[in-house]
Structure 1
Amino acid sequence: MYTNALGKKETYLHFFFHEILSGEYATVLEAVNPSNSSSLTFGTILVIDDMLKDGQDENSSLIGRAQGLNAVVGKADGAIGSMLNFVFTEGKYNGSTLAIYGRFTLGTTIERPIIGDWAVLDGDRLRSCHPGQIISYQVCL
């Protein structure tokens, strides 16, 4: 935790969202697919229970879970509405959660507001960069 120039306390977190899209250990389930196709189309709903880890490597330490829903909400641009809870289960932030909600399009840098928090975390915005199936999250609270 740091104190910024305005005297407000800030916490910086950097963690990685490990997502497995298929197979026996998939962490994403397509719950609704209105078009019965393999692509993400308007109305598709995904249920997520991804791993949060302290590094990009698959052998990095598990520090929590990202659980929630993503739904394709944009007909024209395929935008996704996302409701996620980041649940920290290990380390300094064990027992803390972040609830985020927002809209994004794939392949872009995403900024979403944090709409709820618990325990030692207190803040307002979450920024993520989506390089593939491992997503880097940098959080300033």
Structure 2
Amino acid sequence: MAPKSIATLTKLSFLILLVIFASSQAYDYHFIETNMTLYFQEYYAGPNATVNKLTRIPGNIWAFDSFGTTYAVDDQITQSPDKNSSKIARGQGIYITSSLDGANMQVLISIVFTSNEYNGSTLEIQGCNIQRADVKEISVVGGTGKFKFAKGIATFETICTHKSIFYSLIRCNFTVLHY
């Protein structure tokens, strides 16, 4: 009885391997690399605020470097640094000051494209924002539409800040691989 069971098990194993091999061939996608520069138009206070305070730890101050402070964001994203240039997306998500010393923020941002060839597509950005770094690197962990299965890196750099109007211009360069 044992030899027949071994033969059946061997045939079954071979069949499983054949199915796995065949299915992997059916999904032989080629990655596309996309590089893009976008500009986040961010107002962190005032009547046009695109960043809004959500919560903080009682007793702590409302500040980007105060542990536990959480913000919602909905920034306009443009094609060029000029805030009146073509609006191509929105940067929507949350920031949480996640280190006790306030040096790091957890960033969860969806770039939601609203025009051009990427209209309706998204890129998902998640990771640690080292606030004192001149250029911050954060992972691209997914995407939809034209950016299905995206993975890559996004760098953020503050180009200018105008404290009198609570405004910052942030350049985002990203490189993503997607199908």
**TM-score for both structures, normalised by structure 2:** 0.70
1:1-141 counterparts in 2 under 5 A?
9-34=32-57, 35=59, 37-40=61-64, 41-108=66-133, 109-121=135-147, 122-132=150-160, 133-141=168-176
Contact map agreement 1:107 1:130 (CA 8 A) in 2:
no
Alpha-carbon shift at residue 38 of structure 1 (Å): 4.1
Say whether the 8 Å CA contact 1:51–1:62 is kept in structure 2: yes
Q: Which moved more, 1:87-96 or 1:128-137?
A: 128-137
Instruction: Give CA-to-partner distance per residue, 1:86-116, whole Å, 9 cap, x none.
Output: 0000111111100111011224111111111
| Structure 1 stretch displaced more, 69-78 or 86-95 | 69-78
Q: In the aligned structure 1, how far is the partner of 2:139 from the partner of 2:130? A: 16
Higher helix share: 2
Runs of 4+ in 1 over 6 A off after TM superposition: none
CA distance in 2, matches of 1:39, 1:114: 26
Tell me by how many angstroms 1:62 deviates.
Answer: 0.8
Using the alignment, how far apart are the partners of 2:60 and 2:48 within structure 1? 22
Q: Is the 8 A contact 1:102 1:112 kept in 2?
A: yes
Give aligned-pair identity as a percent. 27
**SS of residue matched to 1:120:** helix
- 3-state SS of 2:146 partner: coil
The residue type equivalent to 1:37 in the other structure is: I
Q: Is the 8 A contact 1:77 1:105 kept in 2?
A: no
- 1:124 Cα deviation (Å)? 1.7
Give 1:84 deviation, angstroms.
Answer: 0.6
Shift of 1:131: 2.7
TM-score by length of 1: 0.87
Q: CA deviation at 1:68?
A: 0.4
Contact 2:103 2:132 in 1 (8 A): no
Q: Which structure's CA Rg is the greater one?
A: 2
Q: CA deviation at 1:85?
A: 0.4
Contact 2:63 2:69 in 1 (8 A): no
Separation in 2, partners of 1:36, 1:8: 46
Show structure 2 runs of 5+ residues with no match.
Answer: 1-29, 161-167
